[in-house]
Chains A and B, each alone.
Chain A
Amino acid sequence: MEAIERLYFRYFPEKLLGEVLTKRWSDNAVPVFATILTISFFLLQNPNFFTLSSLTETSRQLSEFSLIVVAMGIVLLAGGLDLSVGSVFALANITALICIHILGWPVWATVATTLAVGGLCGAVNGFLIGYLRIRAFLTTLVTLIIIRSIVDIILLRYAVEISAVFPESDLWFFIGDGLVFGIPFSFLVAIVVIALWHVILTRARAGWHINAVGGSRRSAYNAGLKVKFTVFTTYVWSSLLTALAGVFFAARLGSAGSDTGAGLEIAALTAAVLGGNSLGGGRGSVIKSVLGAIVVLILTDSMVRVGISGGISSMILGIVLLAVVAIDVRWLKNRHKLLNKVYVSPAYFRLSELPETGAGSGSPYAINDRLKDVSLIGQGEIEGPEDVIFDRNDNLYCPNRHGDIVRFLAPNYKQWEIFAHIGGHPLGMAFDAAENLNVCIGGMGLYQVSPDHTVRKLTDETNRTLLSVIDDSRLKLADDLDIAPDGRIFFSEATIRYDMHDWATDALESRGNGRLICFDPRDRSTKTILRNLQFPNGVCMAGDGQSFFFAETWGCRISRYWFDGPRKGACEVTIPNLPGYPDNINRASDSCFWVALVGMRSPALDLAMRMPSLRKRMAKRVARDQWLFPNINTGCVLKFRPNGEIVESYWDLGGKNHPMVTSMREHKGHLYLGGLYNDRIGRLRLPDADPNWTSQVAYWGANK
């Protein structure tokens, strides 16, 4: 059983599925599938469907229709709706015909006039909906009737005249029937316009405003966007694009029928929503609109060819509209629930047997009460000192939860000040040779604070992994760092899939979601050097200038990585099976290393690690605060030799002063303890330690 589960959770692409669902483009899956299905269905039904001549004709219709659907999509994206497209289309058609057939105007004037008329209709809609804030549905319904009435009145007067005259313009003929390299001219224009709108909506400021207004109108308003103007423009653009389609239609057919554009609004709306544009705004794209246009056009075309009566085909369109709106509404409402269900993707992980920690067992991990007598610094005055560090003047620095770096002043550490405010929760810290304090900040990246309090961003992104689905270039949870003698900063990023406060979910997955990253200050480049680590946490230079130790918290092990020298690139496990979850690693005065165990393993959780399906069920069905959690309430500090041998351990049995230890720093004969959720810093005298040793001098040398 266990073997099956192990294989399943290693090879079944559940994680991929969850990640794909987080992407906005995954919404397109349904329309793309529908498009392929429709096309192949009618291809099987009627092979003649895709002959060249029929394709040319279809592509002309498609270019007109998709322009209108794209127009509808733009309005939908901003949270509106434009039902007047059918009438505007008819009005554009009749305007163009009157200009060229009766008035005999040149083509450019005809096109300009038609577009102007269309723009005017859009401006009226936009004014009523954007500025007066009347409901889009009713407004455009009414303008639909008004414009339709105007078209009918014009038709009554000019229809005969229009059909009596044929324009003598080659250019006009070319617009309607011309081919460029065998492709209809109107089709090319439509492609250009559509590509342009794709760029506008995804890359340009105007398009982003439209997205913002549709996504959350109130937020857009409060952010200072011109909401009313943006809404206004969407209607103007909608009518302009529709008028352009009307020009092509006029040039192609030259007919002034009274049913031009009748029912077009429903077809366009169906197409836009079918493509995946959301009613109510905020979700939509040009691509979606075009896909929807293709499906609906093929559908209606085929119904005409098969000879389905008007009544039935309107019924079919109505059913399609209802079905796609229903899917759209339910999808929007339940998408995040589905995502919650599939995104968490636990992995199979088997830990070796728990090492002995019993008192008097003789094991180096044996529990004791050596942390009981710590003296406290800043009790109740700081929150969340994840790491502690000292400068050459013995001042103590620690981060707090409010995004500050706090400095306790030597010698008695009673007085403190805010050294720098960065924002985010600073985690690991390290001084470089020039006395700059380098800080990893959860959610922000790698920052540097110089002695004169200036805050600089060093990096917040790394190279993106090829073929990664979620964007892993941003640093989500930079955790701890150390600096090589040549100035390169090596730091760990605990997980790329979750934010800092979701660390428990990452623990539940126990998948290698973390990585090690190198920032090179010489060319300011950032590069990922090691991937798929289980919550890499503490980083500490081994002292040979070629390698460093790093801890993998959920992996319960400490490894050594060589970044230089003959073994460059090698990575080898130093301590494979810790009794708890290791956090920060720092140097000790006797050429050993300190490591903090933030919490201890428990047999139940160790067993659960071998049962990913259990953990998956737990993530789905049990409230988060009832999950099997890594315990972070009992921890200890260990000292180990570079070869991995554990020397001694320091425990706080009652959990009174230091229920959690995430970091420790040895400084002048004392050990200072920090904890992510503590409100104090502990100070423990080390009787056997060198009372003058400081990490700073030992690593960077005495002279400044």
Chain B
Amino acid sequence: MIMESTPQSLTSSGTGKSAKMGSRIGLTQELIVFLLAIALFTYFSLTLDNFLSSANILNLIRNVAMLGMLSLGMAVVVIGRGVDLSLVAVMAVSLTFSIVLANQGYAFSAALVLGLALVIVVAIIMGFLIAYVEIPAIFATLAVSAIVYGLGRGVIATLDVNNVPDNLDWFLFLGRGSFLGIPIPIWLFAISALALYLFLRRTGFGRFIYAIGDNISTARITGIPVRPTIILQYVLSGVMAFLAGCVTAASVASMNMRMVNSTLIYDVLLVVILGGIGLSGGRGGVRNVLVGTVLIGLLLNGMTILDFSYTVQNLVKSTVLLCALIVDALLNPRDEQTSQQGDI
């Protein structure tokens, strides 16, 4: 029962009228978002001159791939009833770390491995703080985000922007190349989406994550290794952030740490929430991320072409996010008798 978490299974198992209602609306939400995305795409194609140009489509795809990979990482954590606000900081700082190492003479592959190691260490520390010390995930990840960013700005690098060393075509290929006519970032996004899909649906740990997100006390009583699984969630999201960072760095041949101060992390949250992964955990999957990514990617790209200023874009995005939160709250109202104390 706990393991089954697709909307269909909830409906068929008949856990009550409200669950049926919720799942039916949940299904429509995903569908609505998908239809919206198609409508938006058609609208932009018809009204914006540059929208269908190959340069723009490439740009769109690259951004979408990066956003999608980050969202995949966030999705894993949110399904397990957590949240990871450190994604962007980890992404920017780990790649900066790799690049700085490479510029100091390390082989780039070795530097990348060290960067990945940094990500995993940070993720394990963060997961430990959340799972064992029991600090609320939002605080732990927020504070780790600040610490990692401070580490990047104060210790690892002196400059905000660090360029990838020359003659690294194989690396740049990750961001700029294509295979069978489809850009590599999309391949990477697709592969990681498939891998995460298989992980979440077919492996024991994937099922554990759903169980933990659904009801952590029950999961613990059932005998699931709750705490190690929570650490695993954050390691996974960190690895996804690192992958996204590779794609970003490869496509522009540099890594800009100021990205941490942007509202990228809210875009990621937006993708996850709009896609239909409830913040209360245990619901949703990779498909929701794909749908959400397409919509948000289109929206961001369209606004950029329409020449909305950065602030106005932020305003629009955050208003959309707020609306998504309100809809989420109206569709899944929290009950005074069953909601958890101190759940902020």
Interface residues of A (CB under 8 A from B): 79-81, 128, 132-139, 141-143, 145-146, 148-150, 152-153, 156, 216-218, 221, 227, 266, 279-281, 309-319, 321-322, 325-326, 329-330, 333
Q: With the chains together, A138 CA to B323 CA distance in Å? A: 12
23 contacts between A and B (CB under 8 A): A132-B326, A133-B333, A134-B326, A134-B329, A135-B343, A135-B344, A137-B344, A138-B269, A142-B266, A145-B314, A149-B312, A153-B311, A153-B315, A216-B341, A218-B337, A279-B136, A280-B342, A311-B152, A312-B154, A322-B139, A322-B140, A325-B135, A325-B143
The reply to whether B312 and A138 contact each other, CB–CB distance below 8 Å, is no
Q: With the chains together, A313 CA to B155 CA distance in Å? A: 12
The reply to whether B150 and A314 contact each other, CB–CB distance below 8 Å, is yes
The reply to whether B336 and A132 contact each other, CB–CB distance below 8 Å, is no
Q: With the chains together, A139 CA to B322 CA distance in Å? A: 7
**Which residues of B are found within 8 Å of A81, using beta-carbon distances?**
344
**Which residues of B are found within 8 Å of A135, using beta-carbon distances?**
279, 325, 343-344
Q: With the chains together, A156 CA to B309 CA distance in Å? A: 11
With A218-B336, A315-B154: A137-B329 Cβ-Cβ less than 8 Å: no
Q: A309-B153, A314-B149 are in contact. List 16 more A-B contacts (CB 8 A).
A: A132-B330, A134-B325, A134-B326, A135-B325, A136-B344, A145-B263, A145-B317, A146-B322, A150-B315, A217-B341, A279-B342, A281-B341, A311-B154, A321-B143, A329-B135, A330-B133
Query: B318 on the interface (CB 8 Å rule)?
Result: yes
Which 4 A-B residue pairs are closest in the complex by CB-CB distance?
A: A315-B150, A280-B342, A311-B153, A318-B146
**Which residues of B are found within 8 Å of A316, using beta-carbon distances?**
150
Q: With the chains together, A281 CA to B337 CA distance in Å? A: 17
Could you tell me which residues of chain B, from 103 to 151, have a CB within 8 Å of some CB in chain A?
A: 129, 133-136, 138-140, 142-147, 149-151
With A79-B341, A149-B315, A329-B135: A133-B329 Cβ-Cβ less than 8 Å: yes
**Which residues of A are found within 8 Å of B152, using beta-carbon distances?**
311
The reply to whether B146 and A315 contact each other, CB–CB distance below 8 Å, is yes
With A142-B322, A315-B146: A280-B344 Cβ-Cβ less than 8 Å: yes
Q: With the chains together, A221 CA to B140 CA distance in Å? A: 30
Query: B8 on the interface (CB 8 Å rule)?
Result: no
Query: B220 on the interface (CB 8 Å rule)?
Result: no
**Closest chain A residue to B261, Cβ basis:** A262
**Which residues of A are found within 8 Å of B266, using beta-carbon distances?**
141-142, 145
Shortest beta-carbon distance, A169 to chain B, in Å? 31
Query: B6 on the interface (CB 8 Å rule)?
Result: no
**Closest chain A residue to B343, Cβ basis:** A135
Query: B304 on the interface (CB 8 Å rule)?
Result: no
**Which residues of B are found within 8 Å of A333, using beta-carbon distances?**
134
Q: With the chains together, A165 CA to B133 CA distance in Å? A: 53
Query: B334 on the interface (CB 8 Å rule)?
Result: yes
Q: With the chains together, A128 CA to B334 CA distance in Å? A: 13
**Which residues of B are found within 8 Å of A318, using beta-carbon distances?**
143-147, 150
Q: With the chains together, A141 CA to B317 CA distance in Å? A: 13
Q: With the chains together, A79 CA to B326 CA distance in Å? A: 20
**Which residues of B are found within 8 Å of A150, using beta-carbon distances?**
315
The reply to whether B133 and A326 contact each other, CB–CB distance below 8 Å, is yes
**Which residues of A are found within 8 Å of B47, using beta-carbon distances?**
none
**Which residues of A are found within 8 Å of B314, using beta-carbon distances?**
145, 148-149
The reply to whether A329 and B134 contact each other, CB–CB distance below 8 Å, is yes
The reply to whether B149 and A217 contact each other, CB–CB distance below 8 Å, is no
**Closest chain A residue to B133, Cβ basis:** A326
Q: With the chains together, A133 CA to B343 CA distance in Å? A: 11
User: Which of A79, A315, A319, A321 has a CB less than 8 Å from the CB of B342?
Assistant: A79
**Which residues of B are found within 8 Å of A80, using beta-carbon distances?**
344
Binary A-proximity of B304-328 (CB < 8 A = 1, otherwise 0): 0000000110110111011001101
**Which residues of B are found within 8 Å of A312, using beta-carbon distances?**
150, 153-155
**Which residues of B are found within 8 Å of A218, using beta-carbon distances?**
336-337, 339, 341
Could you tell me which residues of chain B, from 188 to 215, have a CB within 8 Å of some CB in chain A?
A: none
Shortest beta-carbon distance, A239 to chain B, in Å? 16
Most chain A beta-carbon neighbours within 10 Å: one of B146, B314, B334: B146
Shortest beta-carbon distance, B288 to chain A, in Å? 17
**Which residues of B are found within 8 Å of A227, using beta-carbon distances?**
336
**Closest chain A residue to B318, Cβ basis:** A145
**Closest chain B residue to A217, Cβ basis:** B341
The reply to whether A153 and B279 contact each other, CB–CB distance below 8 Å, is no
The reply to whether B150 and A313 contact each other, CB–CB distance below 8 Å, is yes
The reply to whether B339 and A217 contact each other, CB–CB distance below 8 Å, is yes
**Which residues of A are found within 8 Å of B344, using beta-carbon distances?**
79-81, 135-137, 279-280
Shortest beta-carbon distance, B11 to chain A, in Å? 25
User: Which of A281, A311, A313, A325 has a CB less than 8 Å from the CB of B139?
Assistant: A325
Q: With the chains together, A267 CA to B328 CA distance in Å? A: 30
**Closest chain A residue to B257, Cβ basis:** A311
User: Which of A142, A156, A280, A309 has a CB less than 8 Å from the CB of B325?
Assistant: A142
Shortest beta-carbon distance, A67 to chain B, in Å? 22
**Which residues of A are found within 8 Å of B328, using beta-carbon distances?**
134
The reply to whether B143 and A311 contact each other, CB–CB distance below 8 Å, is no
Most chain B beta-carbon neighbours within 10 Å: one of A137, A139, A156, A317: A137
Shortest beta-carbon distance, B230 to chain A, in Å? 15
**Which residues of A are found within 8 Å of B140, using beta-carbon distances?**
322, 325
**Which residues of B are found within 8 Å of A141, using beta-carbon distances?**
266
Shortest beta-carbon distance, B81 to chain A, in Å? 12
The reply to whether B154 and A128 contact each other, CB–CB distance below 8 Å, is no
Q: With the chains together, A312 CA to B152 CA distance in Å? A: 9
Q: With the chains together, A218 CA to B336 CA distance in Å? A: 6
The reply to whether B138 and A137 contact each other, CB–CB distance below 8 Å, is yes
The reply to whether B315 and A142 contact each other, CB–CB distance below 8 Å, is no
The reply to whether B322 and A143 contact each other, CB–CB distance below 8 Å, is yes
Shortest beta-carbon distance, B86 to chain A, in Å? 10
Binary A-proximity of B211-236 (CB < 8 A = 1, otherwise 0): 00000000000000000000000000
